[in-house]
Amino acid sequence: MNLDEKLKRLKKEREMRSRVPAAAVESTWERIQNEAGLSTKEKLERLIHLTEGKPAPSTRKPVPFEPEPRKPLQVFENVFPPSARYGKLKIEDALGIGGEVLRYLGRDDAFLDLDLASTVFLDLETTGLSGGTGTIPFLVGLGYFREGSFVVAQYFLGDPSEEGRMLDELSALFAERGFKSLLTYNGKAFDLPLLETRFILQRKRLALSEIPHLDFLFAARSLWKHKHESCRLFHLAQQVIEAPRDEDIPGAEIPFRYFDYLRTGNFNQIEPILYHNQEDILSLLGLVISGAKLFSEEDLGDGSGPDPLDLVGVGKVFAGAGEAARSTRMFERALVGRLPSEVAVTVVRKLTVQLKKDADWEKAVALWQEGLGADRIFCYRELAMYYEHKSKNLAEAARITEEGLALAMETSAAERTDFEKRLARLNEKMRKGAGAGKSNVKRPKTGPGR
């Protein structure tokens, strides 16, 4: 672009800028002319303020906000029929989950004879996140099955002085429904202890404290921590069950919204909390269904098996439940597939620990040799120990240790020290062994008679 073209372009842009304010003033004046109830003077003042980018003085008196009278206690109930879907799952899928799977997920034999038809899901929204006697659960969210449909019942405390009444109504519901198990997400650390505290302060009995409690946070970490970047309920709901939920409201904001409601009576502050609470309960239901479905894949052949990362998760659950044989089978099947290197390292470590307990040295050695590319220092150490203590092949143990030492020289001072001590011990053993061999050699007799 030459100089003349640049000048023409600048002139054209300047002319455009000069026309825009005039057009804006004209359109603004036409809009003001259509407003009723304004005098010519008020219209001109409004035009000046608008075109200068300043807010026009209000010509009408503001309408004061008049909150509705606060209700001390409200109960909201939403019913989801069996055919309703949440994400990619159906609500009714939960009713097919048996007690054996629940036992693995909860690591508790008490679930063997139970199912989700008699379970209550619990999620609290509170005035603080630290717990303690000063923290009040102002919203108690419950989920349970009733005649095949899934009910989300929410008890909202509009007046903190009515907490005793809310706890009475909760007690009545627990007695009526006769729930046989409790299901939460981080409820062992937060929700249940907090609710127990509120019942104790009101000198009341909490029936939920007396039934088996499945805190699904622990199972979720075993199943998906190695697969997804976060085990937050919201994140897993999106990634695992493809739930159509957005980040509705930060948890830290919830107490402030409740306090603002108590001050102003504006229920608009509470509605997002109700939605958030219901979505958490539905997300928890969906995750339990998804987790249980992984166990149905156990007996599939290797050729048509599920995602290797899911097999790792199931293997970790079995390991936590003390099912060593099943855990080993899941890990072995997972290694057949393509695993990220860091996950493969974890699987090899967990699997070889069990193989060592079972004295299955052939499989263990094969895994260590194959794993030299993923976690070489760990595998070198395990192989060195095997050849030293089990195979009694000191020369091979020393060779493996030297290779491990060469690698440790570049990576870790602590590992380097370990291999140096191991190599020194092996060399000393071989030296003593060589000396003992020489002392056992029979020498020819000398002296008289020869």
What pLDDT digit, counting tens, does each position of 209-253 carry?
Answer: 999 999 999 999 999 999 999 999 999 999 999 988 776 788 889
Query: How far apart are the C-alpha atoms of 41 and 443, rounded to whole Å?
Result: 131
Determine which of 247-251, 410-414, 436-440 has the lowest per-residue pLDDT on average. Answer: 436-440
Residues forming beta bridges with residue 154, ordered by sequence position: 76, 141
Total number of residues shown for the chain: 450
Query: How far apart are the C-alpha atoms of 450 and 374, rounded to whole Å?
Result: 65
CA quadruple 119, 125, 129, 130: dihedral, nearest 10:
-60
> Which 3-state string (H, E, C) describes 69-84?
CCCCEEEEEEEECCCC
Q: What percent of the chain has pLDDT over 90?
A: 56
User: Parallel, antiparallel, or unpaired: how do β-strands 149-157 and 137-146 relate?
Assistant: antiparallel
Please tell me which residue, 225 or 6, carries the higher pLDDT value: 225
In this prediction, residues 422-428 reach a mean pLDDT of 92
pLDDT value at position 38? 65
Please tell me which residue, 373 or 346, carries the higher pLDDT value: 346
Please tell me which residue, 448 or 39, carries the higher pLDDT value: 39
What pLDDT digit, counting tens, does each position of 262-313 carry?
Answer: 999 999 999 999 999 999 999 999 999 999 999 986 544 444 567 999 999 9
pTM (2 d.p.): 0.76
